[in-house]
Amino acid sequence: MNDLLLAAYILVWPALTAIVLIVLCVAVARDHRQAKKDNRSVV
């Protein structure tokens, strides 16, 4: 049972970081599109 819990714990972190990375990339892409539409700089 402990091996199963340890394996699940180890496998959850890459999934969580991937989700966070996807959220950040979508937000940056959305900001970039909005800035391009408004003819202003992203920075």
Question: For the chain, what are the domain ranges?
Answer: 1-43
Long-range contacts of 37-41 (CB under 8 A, 24+ apart): none
C-alpha span between 17 and 20 (Å, rounded): 5
| pTM (2 d.p.) | 0.71
1-43 per-position pLDDT tens digit? 789 999 988 999 999 999 999 999 999 999 999 999 999 988 8
- Residue 15 token pair: 């999934």
